[in-house]
Copies of this chain bind each other. A is one copy, B any other.
Amino acid sequence: MGRILVLYDSATGNTEKMAMLVAEGVEHVEGMEVRIRSVVDARAEDVLWCNGIAVGTPTNCGILSWKMKKFWDDLVEEYWGRIDGKIGCAFSSSGGWAGGNEVACLSILSVLMNFGFLVFGVTDYVADKFTLHYGAAIAGEPRAEREQEACRRLGRRLAQWVRVYVDGEPDVIQDTGAREHM
């Protein structure tokens, strides 16, 4: 059993849609419990609860939104240095391609690393010329199948790493699929 938190901020609804798809991906892996929380409703307890976390934000100047930053800044005083070792990943929706969605994912990973989390990107190509090496990163709403699949794949991989590492089931990943679309 693993516990996954999908935590997101959303301004236009796009990042929220990504969050739902990430959660869908988590459910491809058996025995996972998933919580989806908007940053407005999330509490420290949700972070403590989970083994793995996917954090999503609109791309605002290539950095996570101030609301999401505030959530983690507020957590520092009480929890920093006490919740090390969870597994984390990122997703972001930007206004445009080459508009900073990868960089925003990196800023999320930086925050998670500061809390001692182990963070990852995904090597898989989910379609021709479409991957998620620093997390799921798209422009606008996740409409195209490849965009939706990138979100799902992130959730699935997060759940798989949690199962591999937390539950000690290394054979859950046979093939990462990284080379499938090469």
What is A's interface to B at a CB cutoff of 8 Å? 60-67, 69-70, 72-73, 76, 80-82, 84-85, 87, 95-103, 106-107, 110-111, 113-125, 128-140, 150, 161, 164-165, 168, 173, 176, 178-179, 181-182
Chain B residues lying within 8 Å of A60, measured Cβ to Cβ, are 69, 73, 76
Q: Which of B95, B106, B123, B131 contacts A129 (CB 8 A)?
A: B95
Chain B residues lying within 8 Å of A102, measured Cβ to Cβ, are 98, 100-103
Contact A85 B116 (CB under 8 A): no
Chain B residues lying within 8 Å of A136, measured Cβ to Cβ, are 98
Given A113-B119, A119-B113, decide whether A134 and B103 contact each other with a Cβ distance below 8 A.
Answer: yes
Complex copy number for this chain: 4
Contact A123 B115 (CB under 8 A): yes
Cα A76 to Cα B59 with chains together (Å)? 12
Cα A132 to Cα B139 with chains together (Å)? 13
Chain B residues lying within 8 Å of A132, measured Cβ to Cβ, are 98
| Extra pairs beyond A61-B115, A81-B182 (18, CB < 8 Å) | A61-B69, A62-B134, A64-B69, A66-B67, A81-B179, A82-B179, A87-B118, A95-B182, A96-B131, A96-B181, A98-B134, A100-B110, A102-B102, A103-B134, A116-B176, A116-B178, A118-B118, A129-B139
